[in-house]
């Protein structure tokens, strides 16, 4: 990580995100490998000497101390003079707009406020690295939407380097400078959000990060301009030149839902397929149409800004289309598709 970077670690429950944070914090010792802060190895350093603050998911606010005492705990623990510690605490409380509750106890505050106190405590600590374990996990969905930007702003404003762990891909994508995708204790992908979203490194990441359509097929023909894949039922799909161009190789085609166009008329796309609308999901700003193609495969298409009534009805025949450049080809996973997508 670079100094000042805001890194999100994205992964399902049990993928090792919390363990990773606790290793960096010094609460656990690695069995192998090393951790370096500013080029200096910290493996042997104890938690209290590392300058990396761990903020657990349930905030771990000290119930017997006031908000102010909680926030001042860090500087006091590092033996700063009391006046200096309290000053830092007040300043941070003002930053999170909670100085009016300085004398309250944690259990008198709402969830969102407690989260801010936990953050303030970390920011006031004088540490360099902030380790946030699902910082918004305990909050309502709508509140999360509002607070995640504020969270990032506060961290950046204070000049911290931060690792923010979450299982929510929307959250990760919207606040991260870079994303690290974790699964089963292994890093599956890492990079800036657009890159991880557009060019995921694997099927698991493609599914986790953006809801891609995953269709099974076999490479049929490979030419200079591109290839074709033979799908279920003999349906042919034109694909970009695969990175592993061997005919008869079983592959998975990943197509992002928003790149699938559907219409009641003909459309101009590299691939045009006929199908029937099976399900419609309304999700507020967009609708998702599940279309059963003639060969039995189901493909999903996202349409934005439609209005009260959906443009298509269930059972209606439509044309679905997408371009070659919106398809990513992956080798068919050895253990099968279902196992590959499993999160536990």
Beta carbon of residue 61, minimum distance to other proteins (angstroms, whole number): 8
105 near other proteins, rule: CB under 8 A? yes
Nearer to other proteins, 167 or 269 (CB): 167
**Distance (Å, rounded) from C-alpha 229 to C-alpha 221?**
7
116 near other proteins, rule: CB under 8 A? no
Q: Which stretch binds other proteins (CB under 8 A): 41-49, 183-191, 234-242, 330-338?
A: 41-49
Q: Which stretch binds other proteins (CB under 8 A): 29-37, 88-96, 278-286, 292-300?
A: 278-286
Beta carbon of residue 11, minimum distance to other proteins (angstroms, whole number): 9
Query: How far, CA to CA in Å, does 112 sit from each of 96, 147, 298?
Result: 11, 8, 41
Nearer to other proteins, 164 or 169 (CB): 169
Would you say 116 and 155 are in contact if contact means Cβ atoms under 8 Å apart? no
**Distance (Å, rounded) from C-alpha 106 to C-alpha 78?**
23
- Which is nearest to 8 in space by CA: 163, 219, 199, 224? 163
Instruction: Determine the length of the chain.
Output: 344
Beta carbon of residue 70, minimum distance to other proteins (angstroms, whole number): 10
Segment 240-259, which members bind other proteins (CB under 8 A)? 256-258
- Which is nearest to 57 in space by CA: 142, 13, 115? 115
26 near other proteins, rule: CB under 8 A? yes
Beta carbon of residue 319, minimum distance to other proteins (angstroms, whole number): 20
Segment 126-165, which members bind other proteins (CB under 8 A)? 126-127, 131, 140-143, 145-146, 149
- Phi, psi for residue 201 in degrees, rounded to 5: -80, -15
Beta carbon of residue 196, minimum distance to other proteins (angstroms, whole number): 10
3-class SS shares of the chain: helix, strand, coil, % to 5: 30, 30, 40
* Size, binding site for other proteins by CB under 8 A: 84
């Amino acid at each position: 990580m670079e100094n000042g970077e805001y890194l999100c670690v994205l992964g399902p429950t049990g993928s090792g995100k919390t363990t990773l944070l606790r290793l960096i914090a010094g609460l656990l010792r690695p069995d192998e490998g090393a951790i370096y802060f500013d080029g200096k190895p910290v493996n042997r350093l104890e938690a209290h000497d590392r300058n990396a603050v761990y903020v657990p998911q349930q905030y771990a606010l000290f119930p017997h101390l006031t908000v102010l005492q909680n926030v001042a705990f860090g500087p006091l623990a590092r033996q700063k003079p009391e006046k200096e510690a309290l000053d830092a605490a007040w300043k941070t409380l003002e930053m999170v707009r909670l100085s009016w509750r300085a004398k309250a106890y944690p259990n008198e505050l709402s969830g969102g406020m407690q989260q801010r106190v936990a953050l303030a405590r970390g920011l006031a600590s004088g540490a360099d690295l902030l380790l946030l374990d699902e910082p918004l996990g305990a909050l309502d969905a709508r509140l999360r939407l509002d607070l995640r930007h504020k969270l990032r702003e506060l961290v950046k404003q204070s000049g911290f380097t931060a690792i923010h762990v979450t299982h929510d891909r929307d959250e990760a994508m919207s606040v991260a400078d870079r994303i690290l995708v974790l699964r089963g204790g292994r890093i599956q992908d890492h990079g800036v959000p657009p890159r991880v979203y557009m060019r995921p490194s694997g099927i698991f990441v493609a599914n986790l990060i953006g809801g891609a359509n995953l269709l099974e097929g076999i490479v049929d023909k490979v030419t200079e301009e591109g290839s074709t894949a033979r799908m279920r039922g003999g349906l042919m799909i034109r694909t970009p030149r695969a990175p592993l161009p061997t005919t008869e190789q079983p592959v998975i085609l990943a197509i992002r839902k928003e790149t699938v166009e559907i219409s009641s008329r003909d459309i101009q796309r590299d691939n045009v397929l006929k199908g029937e609308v099976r399900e419609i999901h309304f999700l507020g700003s967009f609708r998702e149409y599940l279309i059963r193609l003639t060969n039995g495969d189901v493909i999903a298409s996202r349409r934005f800004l439609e209005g009260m009534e959906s443009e298509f009805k269930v059972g209606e025949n439509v044309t679905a289309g997408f371009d070659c450049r919106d398809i990513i080809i992956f080798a068919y996973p050895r253990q099968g598709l279902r196992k590959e997508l499993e999160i536990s």
